[in-house]
């Protein structure tokens, strides 16, 4: 830990330690981070020691006390982790990385405390009859988590497990940093306007401003996600598409324009080795088996059978879609051609394009439509507040209010791509709900996207793909914000089986395709008119366009993830590209070049929470399609159905078994056919 990180910042005025309703984003600085976390962890360790020393254990003195501690630490660390993702800088990165081993050590010590484990077991045995179902579930989760953290290991193995967790935290951060740095370091300078035919005007304006700032003629492109997608989808120049495809698909690897500079190859090897070792310490055959211990899916064969069921249905459809696309292009396609010709084919078939749709989808109108969906379904009101400190001029703050007026939750929205901001889209926990006898703490969420920023007086305009992403993340946000669970460990997304956590987000995507929602959320940037009914009809028809290929792509990622974690053997190493070849032989119909290195930027499984869990997207997509089927049966805004969805799933957090919650809502177990019907795969396969 560097001296400048520990010595600076007066703790008495440290904004991270203030007991404020919301983070002081206008006052948090990198030099505040390490002192705040160090002080807080010392205080928490003292509190934990006092709890461990209690002569008798009861629910209030042990369980509630630890819930309070966890909530406090989460509130202090959350803005740090968030800022590191959205305004990354070298000082902030250094402070963030300095804290990771401290936090990992603390969490592991907590989870491996035999005294706490015995205290929870004592509460469960002595007070079980006096506990309500949520309290019993809370203790059940805690006892399971103690066991999964190695509480029963001997001291030597326990120490090794702890060291592994600390090192995995460091490696995950390093993986993500390498991807971010490889993305930021790349640029492409163009001086000939003829090379840029087909590209969206907003992207070109942004590139022109970037070139001007660097005192260059022409256009200077970055590798941010909106730019990459726009180029490979719309640029008429195959050479330009290839340059962007190669830069994107070789990020943080041994190949491509930054070959070896930020290579994640060894990071991947170490992550997989350490995960396997941790699982073996707990007597699991593999990390995949360990990860499935708290999921809806219980075994690796169950997951593999599920994914291969999708392959059997989608592969003939995907192969036919590829044949059709190459017939349309009149030549064999290279990987950097697929998005371009797919967009052209879609335009020819449906006479609609993502760039055409941008003109009808300014962000203010899309937000109004999105909020109206939530308001109609769940009887809330959403209002912006401009008196709350934020971390960047792009960020905004909204309150979710009950019909009577009081706030029930709130969220920040950071919608636009920019340098030093992580790519992709996500929802994260700013503050979790807590009601443990004192004042109720309301949930607060972060919603982050990476769409194209406004240009001059022109508002930000979205593709429909951007809109679906926004609806998806807002679904996660509703899951977090509309929880009624009072215990932080089970509130919102906490405690939810990982393969069910995408259910609310993918459920909300359906509303981005509904005609009345499309009408409400669209307004042409020039005249304000909504998306015409004929364009709506064509857009909705595109939902099943190349659904076979899209399904196979996601299943490929999921199978690779599961096999990497299920089949790892120390003597053979990760075998990433050997397994990838086997998975692609089984699943894929689209070729990729030998130099493609997409696993090197696969942050979901190497830096996020989806290790041995990427299948969750498809698993939860089945749940979401089946759940939305209930609305199709009774009406997309049917109040009784929406209330049942809120009561059974959205508000319950991790306080109830995910399958039981689904059955409570739907009246039966989920069926994969719902998803195959939704995307037209069932009919086309038949």
Give CA separation, 551 vs 313, 342, 555, in Å.
10, 15, 6
pLDDT digits (tens, 9 = 90+) for 378-410: 999 999 999 999 999 999 999 999 988 899 999
Q: For 526-545, what is each residue's pLDDT tens digit?
A: 999 999 999 999 999 999 99
- Confidence class for position 7, pLDDT limits 50, 70, 90: very low
Q: What is the pLDDT of residues 161-214, one digit of tens each?
A: 999 999 999 999 999 999 999 999 999 999 999 999 999 999 999 999 999 999
Q: Is the pLDDT of residue 4 over 60?
A: no
Phi, psi angle pair for 74, to nearest 5°: -60, -40
Closest CA to 86 of 202, 176, 6, 2: 176
**Whether residue 600 has pLDDT greater than 70:** yes
- Answer yes or no: pTM beyond 0.85: yes
Q: Which residues are catalytic?
A: 473
Q: What is the pLDDT of residue 684?
A: 79
pLDDT at 521 over 90: yes
d(CA 282, CA 286): 10
| SS3 of residue 434 by DSSP | strand
The whole-angstrom separation of Cα 100 and Cα 173 is: 9
Q: What is the pLDDT of residues 17-38, one digit of tens each?
A: 998 999 999 999 999 999 999 9
Would you say how long the chain is, in residues?
A: 686
Give pLDDT, residue 686.
67
* pLDDT of 685 over the 80 cut: no
Average pLDDT score over the chain: 95
pLDDT confidence tier of residue 683, bands split at 50, 70 and 90:
confident
Tens-digit pLDDT profile for residues 458-502: 999 999 999 999 999 999 999 999 999 999 999 999 999 999 999
Q: φ, ψ for residue 396 (rounded to 5)?
A: -135, 165
Confidence band (pLDDT; 50, 70, 90) for 245?
A: very high
| 411 bridge partner residues | 398, 445
* CB-based contacts of 259, cutoff 8 Å, min separation 6: 250, 253
For every residue of 481-504, which 3-state class applies, written as one string? HCCCCCCHHHCCCCCCCHHHCCHH
Give the number of other Cβ atoms within 10 Å of residue 622's Cβ: 21
User: pLDDT digits over 268-324, tens only?
Assistant: 999 999 999 999 999 999 999 999 999 999 999 999 999 999 999 999 999 999 999
With a CB cutoff of 8 Å and minimum separation 6, the contacts of 506 are 472, 475, 617, 620, 621, 623, 624, 625
The structural domains of the chain, ordered by start, are 3-111+113-148 (1.20.1050.40), 183-249 (no CATH), 265-351+548-610 (1.10.1370.10)
């Amino acid at each position: 830990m560097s001296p400048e990180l520990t010595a600076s910042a007066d703790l008495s005025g440290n904004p991270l330690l203030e007991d404020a309703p919301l983070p002081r984003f206008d006052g948090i600085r990198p030099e505040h981070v390490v002192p705040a976390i160090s002080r807080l962890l010392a205080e928490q360790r003292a509190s934990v020691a006092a709890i461990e020393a209690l002569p008798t254990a009861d629910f209030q003195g042990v369980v509630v006390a630890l819930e309070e501690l966890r909530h406090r630490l989460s509130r202090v660390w959350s803005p740090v982790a968030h800022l590191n993702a959205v305004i990354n800088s070298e000082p902030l990165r250094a402070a963030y990385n300095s804290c990771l081993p401290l936090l990992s050590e603390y969490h592991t010590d907590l989870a491996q405390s035999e005294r706490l484990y015995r205290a929870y077991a004592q509460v469960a045995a002595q007070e079980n009859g006096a506990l309500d179902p949520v309290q019993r579930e809370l203790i059940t989760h805690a006892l399971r988590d103690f066991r999964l953290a190695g509480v029963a290991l001997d001291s030597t193995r326990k120490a090794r497990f702890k060291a592994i967790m600390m090192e995995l935290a460091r490696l995950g951060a390093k993986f993500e940093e390498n991807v971010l740095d490889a993305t930021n370091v790349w640029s492409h300078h163009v001086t000939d306007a003829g090379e840029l035919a087909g590209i969206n005007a907003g992207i070109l304006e942004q590139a022109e401003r970037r070139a001007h700032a660097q005192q260059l003629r022409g256009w200077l492109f970055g590798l941010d996600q909106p730019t990459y997608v726009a180029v490979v989808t719309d640029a008429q120049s195959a050479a330009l598409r290839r340059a962007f495809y190669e830069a994107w698909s070789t990020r943080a690897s041994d190949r491509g324009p930054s070959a070896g500079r930020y290579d994640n190859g060894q990071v991947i090897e170490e992550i997989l080795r350490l995960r396997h070792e941790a699982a073996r310490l707990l007597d699991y055959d593999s990390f995949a088996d360990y990860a499935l211990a708290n999921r809806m899916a219980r075994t690796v064969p169950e997951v593999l059978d599920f994914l291969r069921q999708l392959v059997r249905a989608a592969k003939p459809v995907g192969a036919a879609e590829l044949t059709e696309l190459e017939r349309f292009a009149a030549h064999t396609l290279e990987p950097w051609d697929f998005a371009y010709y797919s967009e052209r084919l879609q335009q020819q078939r449906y006479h609609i394009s993502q760039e055409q749709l941008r003109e009808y989808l300014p962000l203010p109108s899309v937000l109004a439509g999105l909020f109206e969906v939530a308001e109609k379904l769940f009887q809330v009101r959403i209002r912006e507040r401009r008196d709350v400190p934020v971390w960047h001029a792009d960020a905004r703050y909204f309150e979710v209010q009950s019909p009577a007026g009081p706030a029930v939750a709130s969220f920040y929205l950071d919608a636009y791509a920019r340098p030093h901001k992580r790519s992709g889209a996500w929802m994260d926990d700013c503050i979790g709900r807590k009601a443990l006898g004192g004042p109720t703490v309301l949930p607060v969420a972060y919603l982050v996207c990476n769409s194209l920023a406004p240009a001059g007086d022109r508002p930000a305009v979205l593709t429909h793909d951007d809109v679906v992403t926004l609806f998806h993340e807002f679904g996660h946000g509703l899951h977090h914000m509309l929880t009624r669970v009072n215990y932080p460990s089970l509130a919102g997304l906490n405690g939810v089986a990982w393969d069910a956590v995408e259910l609310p987000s993918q459920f909300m995507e359906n509303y981005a395709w509904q005609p009345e929602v499309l009408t409400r959320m669209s307004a042409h940037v020039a005249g304000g008119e909504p998306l015409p009914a004929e364009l709506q009809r064509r857009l909705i028809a595109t939902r099943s366009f190349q659904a076979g290929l899209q399904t196979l792509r996601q299943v490929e990622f999921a199978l690779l993830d599961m096999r990497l974690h299920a089949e790892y053997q120390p003597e053979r190493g990760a075998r990433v590209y050997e397994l990838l070849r086997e998975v692609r032989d089984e699943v894929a119909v689209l070729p990729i070049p030998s130099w493609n290195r997409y696993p090197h930027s696969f942050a979901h499984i190497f830096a996020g929470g989806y290790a041995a869990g990427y299948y969750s997207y498809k698993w939860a997509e089945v749940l979401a399609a089946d759940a939305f089927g209930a609305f199709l049966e009774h009406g997309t805004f049917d109040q009784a159905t929406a209330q049942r969805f809120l009561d059974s799933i959205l508000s319950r957090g991790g306080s109830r078994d995910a399958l039981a919650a689904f059955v409570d809502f739907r009246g039966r177990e989920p069926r994969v056919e719902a998803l195959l019907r939704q995307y037209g795969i069932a009919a086309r396969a038949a």
